[in-house]
Amino acid sequence: MASIQVPDLASPGFKANPYPFYARLRNEAPALRTTILTRPVWLVTRYDDVLQVLKDDRFANDWSPRMPWLLLRFARPMTRGMLSRDAPDHTRLRTLVGKAFTPRLVERLRAQVESITEELLTAAAANGRFELVRDFALPLPLKIISGLLGIPEADSLRFHRLSRTMLAVASTFGLIRSLPDSWLFMRHLHKLFAERRARPQDDLVTALVEAEEAGDKLSEDELVAMTMLLLVAGYETTVNLIASGTLALIQHPEQRERFLQSPALAESAVEELLRFTSPLEIASFRLVLQEVALAGVTLPPGELVTAVLGSANHDESQFPEPEKLDLARSPNRHLGFGMGAHFCLGAPLARLEGQIALTALFRRFPNLRLAVPPDSLRWRASLLLRALEELPLATE
């Protein structure tokens, strides 16, 4: 274990291909103690162990006792959402918004997703070349989630720019640098809540402002945390799924042809791309509440653990030939959306958007190809996400 040098897990160079390192960890040190944000953290990489971390209530999502004081001092509202709460608070918060993301209600958005998809692809087709992230993968889910929340388009783009800084945090310096953007983000949200209290609208932000569950309204901090989470989580995974999924299909021409010839494959194709590309690569930190034996080590109370979803999704014990892209893979119990009580609330929406977007993209441009050499592609600096900065494409 001591001989394993942990690279910068948030660096663009590492994000380009993290899987050989994860394979080594699964084989040699499936639970490895390292340092992230100045805190000792256990990286858990095998599928069964990752599943245990996600589902075992001895691992708490509220790790505020170990959070950097800067985060607690200046950005405390961000720690009050579903992602960093446990039962009963998590249950209460999830119940308040869960009804907006049921598969039945999400299905009602199909026509809107299809319309925006066609509009964006028509614009992209005009020049024979386009940048997929900027022109398609980002605006599609951002328009949908902003519409659900009731956030004006100009504000949603501003929020996106601010969230990029926050999601890039992987060091104490990065945390300090992100604080002004975090403060601006929260300031804009407070103004939005005040507007909705004065002039209610038919949108999710108004519903959250007015929400009441068992006589308990959301606090202002909970409103900030919930809206930030819904906005960012409501599009980031989908952006990365569409962009990385497109790249994977271009780089695996036999699977792309299979996708083109079999429209009914869209559902299983998106599940495989979620597994293969792992848009959300690392889960949020958990705090060990009770002594736990995991992956051959004993974790005492007070330790921090993070489940590496990208590694679990490439675990050969769960997925035969994990480095092979197989759009018809079955079974495919990937962990792209997490698992357990904190399973991604927006998974039905992300799946719908991914299926529609990728199907329409390759139907419209069957000869789609990279417009730059593969080794020139740049990945975003982010601990939690695996995301392309941009994907320049040619349609012929």
pLDDT > 60? residue 214? no
Asked if residues 9 and 282 have their Cβ atoms less than 8 Å apart, the reply is yes
Question: CATH fold of 76-284+320-394, please?
Answer: Cytochrome p450 (1.10.630)
Q: Which of 253-257, 275-279, 346-350 has the lowest mean pLDDT?
A: 346-350
**What is the rounded CA–CA span in Å between residue 300 and residue 127?**
58
The confidence band for 358, taking pLDDT boundaries of 50, 70 and 90, is: very high
**What is the rounded CA–CA span in Å between residue 374 and residue 323?**
18
The residues pairing with 385 across neighbouring beta strands, listed in sequence order, are 280
Between the alpha carbon of residue 3 and those of residues 72, 75, 243, 292, the distances in Å are 34, 37, 35, 24
User: Encoding tokens for residue 311?
Assistant: 């590694």
**What is the rounded CA–CA span in Å between residue 307 and residue 323?**
20
| pLDDT for the residue numbered 88 | 75
The domain segmentation of the chain, as residue ranges, is: 76-284+320-394
Greatest mean pLDDT range, 166-170, 203-207, 223-227, 380-384: 380-384
Would you give the DSSP letter of residue 322?
A: T
The mean of the pLDDT values for the chain is 87
pLDDT > 70? residue 17? yes
Q: What is the mean pLDDT of residues 274-293?
A: 94
Number of H helices, E strands in the chain: 18, 12
H-type alpha helices, the chain: 12-16, 19-28, 47-55, 69-74, 89-98, 103-107, 110-124, 132, 139-149, 153-167, 172-198, 204-210, 220-233, 236-251, 253-261, 266-277, 309-312, 347-364
What is the per-residue pLDDT across 74-118, written as a single tens digit (0 to 9) for each? Answer: 556 566 666 667 777 777 777 777 766 778 888 889 999 999 999
What end-to-end distance do the CA atoms of the chain give, in Å? 49
The confidence band for 1, taking pLDDT boundaries of 50, 70 and 90, is: very low
- pLDDT: is 342 or 388 the higher one? 388
Q: At what angle do helices 110-124 and 139-149 cross, to 10 degrees?
A: 140
Q: What is the mean pLDDT of residues 40-52?
A: 97
| pLDDT for the residue numbered 160 | 75
By CB atoms closer than 10 A (0-12, 13-18, 19+), residue 376 is exposed
Q: What is the mean pLDDT of residues 236-262?
A: 96
Q: What is the mean pLDDT of residues 343-355?
A: 91
Closest CA to 368 of 274, 251, 212: 251
| pLDDT for the residue numbered 177 | 63
Distance of CA 4 to the CA centre of its chain: 28
**What is the rounded CA–CA span in Å between residue 269 and residue 258?**
10
What CA dihedral angle connects 90, 334, 165 and 154, to 10 degrees? Answer: -80
